[in-house]
Chain A
Amino acid sequence: MSSSAVEPEAADLVCQLENVQGMVDSLSAVRWKRHQDAVVELSEHGIVLILEESNCLQAKVYLRKELFAQYDYNAEERPRFGVSLGLFVDCLSTFTVPGRASAIEIRYPGPDMQLLLKSLDSSDACIYAEIRTIIPDTVSWDYNFEPAGSVPLSFTVKSAALKEAIDDLEWPGSSIRINLKPAPPSVSFRGEGHGDLQIDLMYNVNSDLLLDFNCNHPVSHRYKYKFLRATTSNLPSSVMKENRGSKLTIGRGGMLKVQHLVPVGRAPFPNPHVIDSASHQQQPGRIAYIEFFVKPEEEEDDNRND
């Protein structure tokens, strides 16, 4: 693989990020196994990464253009390509420096349709990466998440508490049943396998853990443990430290949506090598949105469905 001597004209996307660690954290959150291929979609709104497994689990990472210090989008049609997630994250990690924010430029496409990364921190020392991309498979599972009814069925729980609960539920070694009840307002996670384990969160009691709760009728669905586990297994330490809420929503048919917020921090001091075209605009919180969609297991007993 060789890079051309002349920079490509009008790349589809050239963007600059002030602190690559935030992007490493966001993408790491959707790494639930060793080998994963991600589909990347570029648009005028930002970058989206999509991963899926077995038609039962899908994850999306939204990196809105406001997260970037510079975002120049020039494509006529939205570029879409496949890339190895592990490789992408490992490459981004090479740009991080402990204790310091590192700025990078991301460019697509390179002369051979590569994804190009380049450090911006110093003019006399430069780190670069060229990652081969592939033509992606069509995302086969059109999950089409819809609300369960006119009132959404959702609850928000502190991210660290959610991860701990799911980690503990590994013990029964079975599917996990999630029950939502309006009276008393509560959510429970239950596993029945090698012994039983039930974790209850009461909205009016565990208000330090259960931050929000919306439910107007009881609902109960089962989910395969390994897919549920994937939604929290690699939450970055920045999320655990900030410990905001992760929102879980049950949609039509029992589809579970799990949303996390990952901070994509700004550098403490302006980086002289980064052109910050966004500096004068009012910044929304510098957050990347992570969404997981988990299909429920089929129930033998139809009465338990919503």
Chain B
Amino acid sequence: MKFKAFLTENGVMLLERRFLPALDKLGKTCHLLLTKERVIFLHNLLNGDGIQCIAQFQKEVLFDDYRISSQNEDCIAFAVDLSLLQRAVRSSVSICSEFGAGGSPSNRLQIKLVKKLPPKCTQPMPYLTFETKGYKAAVIQDVPISKPLPRAQVLELRAALELAQELPLTLVQVPDLNQIQNYVDRMRHLGEMLNVSISKYGDLHLQISTALVSLGAEFRKLLVIGEKAQAPPEDENLSAETRHQRAIMRQDGQFVHVSVKHFAKSLQCNLTKPDCAFYGIAPEGASLTVIFQFFVPGTHQTDKSIGLHCRLPVLDPGTN
């Protein structure tokens, strides 16, 4: 099993400034799946608890000179602590910049999978090693990782990844994630369960409802991708709650209950600076999906080399 690659300047910037800070907020540890073509960070895909999050990159986005080989169709997967990873990238960056412009061959940041014997141990342990060679000094940082996953678990991970890629039939585009984040930050301590309903008319409704208060935000006439429908004019002046109830009765909408904490956590993906986001409910109300989209810089074209989405588990309303 071998892995060695050089982080590009773009890769360092994406990871250090945008993705690692966001992924760290979603969960302390995650799986890192390296394939021949892609690099994928996965939260909670194997244990089924909490928010699932998948951040995937085409290898060229992050790495140069990417070499991987293993007996699992050249796939390697392991668990890693994101704060340690973040720290290693950050300090390597500062060393690179201290000793000269980044990107020149003499001080590129190399990442390698290694086995080393830690002090006071008899067994060698696996690490992801960061190596920077500056003009005057070389710095090596070892990020401890879990034992690489065995074949069966790698297959399980890849199957879960396939399943998680299924798109909801209707997705609505959220215009301003900051607005939603600001709102959720203020309403979150008023209740634990968030009702989310999405209609084919392009309406998104978020509501917390307890015995003492019902608090909601409705975003209307959003861009719809997938199955869409025309909003009946007679619904125009109704309250948000009634409007969505009618849409659901007509099978033009769906609703799910999710944990407010999970929803707020998923909004931390805003730290990756996406260009827009889409919300959708999986068939049968199995989960709430949010897909973050990134544009090719300077355009409105989707950058297909970067993908980020979360799936929130749904709650049984009886367990509020």
The proximity string for B residues 211-231 relative to A, scoring 1 for CB distances below 8 Å and 0 otherwise, is: 111111111110000000000
The proximity string for A residues 95-121 relative to B, scoring 1 for CB distances below 8 Å and 0 otherwise, is: 011100000000000000000000000
- Closest chain A CB from B150 CB (angstroms): 48
Q: Complex Cα distance A87/B214, Å?
A: 11
Q: Is the CB of B183 within 8 A of A94?
A: yes
Q: Is the CB of B217 within 8 A of A126?
A: yes
Q: Is the CB of A132 within 8 A of B212?
A: yes
Interface size on B, residues (CB 8 A): 24
Chain A contact residues, majority secondary structure: mixed
Q: Is the CB of A124 within 8 A of B242?
A: no
Chain B minimum-CB-distance residue to A124: B220
For residue A84, which residues in chain B have a CB less than 8 angstroms away from its CB?
Answer: 212
Chain B contact residues, majority secondary structure: mixed
Interface size on A, residues (CB 8 A): 23
Given contacts A4-B239, A125-B217, A126-B217, contact A132 B186 (CB under 8 A): no
Q: Does A151 contact B (CB under 8 A)?
A: no
Q: Does A205 contact B (CB under 8 A)?
A: no
Chain B minimum-CB-distance residue to A3: B239
- Closest chain B CB from A124 CB (angstroms): 5
Q: Is the CB of A87 within 8 A of B190?
A: yes
- Closest chain A CB from B102 CB (angstroms): 35
Q: Complex Cα distance A124/B212, Å?
A: 27
- Closest chain A CB from B214 CB (angstroms): 4
Q: Does B13 contact A (CB under 8 A)?
A: no
| B211-258 interface with A by 8 A CB criterion | 211-221, 238-242
Q: Does A140 contact B (CB under 8 A)?
A: no
Q: Is the CB of A129 within 8 A of B242?
A: no
For residue A96, which residues in chain B have a CB less than 8 angstroms away from its CB?
Answer: 186
* Given contact pairs A1-B214, A91-B213, A91-B215, a sample of 11 additional A-B residue pairs in the complex whose CB atoms are under 8 Å apart: A2-B241, A3-B242, A84-B212, A90-B189, A94-B190, A125-B179, A125-B217, A126-B218, A128-B239, A129-B214, A131-B212
Using a CB–CB cutoff of 8 Å, the interface residues on chain B facing chain A are: 179, 182-183, 186-187, 189-190, 209, 211-221, 238-242
